[in-house]
Amino acid sequence: MHTTRWAKIAADLRQGIQDGTYPPGSKLPSIPDLMNKYGVARDTVRDAISRLANEGLVTPLRGIGTVVRDMTPVELAYSPEAPAQPWSQQTKNGRDDVVLAELVDADPGIIQRLRLPKGSQVLHRVRHQSVGGQVAQIHDQWIPADLYSSIANATKFDLIADRNKEQPNLYEQMREAGYQPATATETLTCRMPDPDETTTLELPPGVPVLVTHRITTDRDGTPLETSTFVGAGDRMSQTFRVPLES
């Protein structure tokens, strides 16, 4: 069967990615280098790289080159009978970096989720959660300002001032502050990423994101926090184990 030149280049590069010649986070040879190696025109090389990008293997980054994606799978397993765990405990070799933590005026959507009065402030945290060499999930979280203050007073851990320290289990912090987190309701959807998500997750064209909206409530039904998780759709999987007998 006849193989086009761009398909041959794509096959060679794909093999190099699979056998570790080009490990995750590394760059493929430049377009001029590939043109010289295979004796082809620029468009032929671009067609080969586009094929690899469409397969989710690489991400062309302007001013940097074509970067091999880290495709380490991220498996999140939730169990109703088990306590909630931080990202680093849920995943193998997970890293959780708080990149933003500040008090802000809650927008209408967050006011609705947390059932707060208009004009309320919330602690907004943004976390980049990684497995392997690349960010796999973006975690946006909003916590009522009074709950943030109660946690800081009770635990002496300030979620803003101590954002660069290892983050403890938030639910345990809530309990120390006298709250009783009882239920976390999560809704999963799928959509295409926005430009910022594409950049942070280093997504090639065509890869969707898995979006999880969570609301945690106290025993009396009062919302304690709400989160939005956005993860690379071709890396993330969630497994739910639900007991069928009481």
Q: 13-59: per-residue pLDDT in tens? A: 999 999 999 999 899 999 999 999 999 999 999 999 999 998 889 99
Residue whose C-alpha is closest to residue 234's, from 205, 207, 195? 207
Upper half-sphere CA count for residue 2 (Cβ side, 13 Å): 1
Instruction: Read off the tokens for 204.
Output: 């090639």
Cα separation, 44 vs 31, in Å, equals: 10
What digits encode the pLDDT tens for the residues 136-175? Answer: 999 999 999 999 999 999 999 999 999 999 888 899 999 9
Q: How many residues can be counted in the chain?
A: 246
- Please determine, for residue 82, whether its predicted confidence score (pLDDT) is greater than 80: no
Concatenating the DSSP letter of every residue in 81-109 gives: TS----HHHHSTTEEEEEEEEEEEEPPHH
Distance of CA 155 to the CA centre of its chain: 28
Cα separation, 149 vs 158, in Å, equals: 8
Helices then strands (H, E): number in the chain? 8, 10
- Residue 1: pLDDT band with limits 50, 70, 90: very low
Residue 114: C-alpha distances to residues 41, 217, 223 (Å): 57, 9, 5
Is 101 or 234 the better-scoring residue by pLDDT? 101
Ramachandran class of 56: left when φ > 0, alpha when ψ lies in -120 to 50, beta otherwise: left
- Please determine, for residue 89, whether its predicted confidence score (pLDDT) is greater than 60: no
Predicted local confidence at residue 91, as pLDDT? 64
Instruction: Read off the tokens for 180.
Output: 């009783």
Q: Residue 185 class from Cβ within 10 Å (0-12 exposed, 13-18 middle, 19+ buried)?
A: exposed
pTM of the model: 0.83
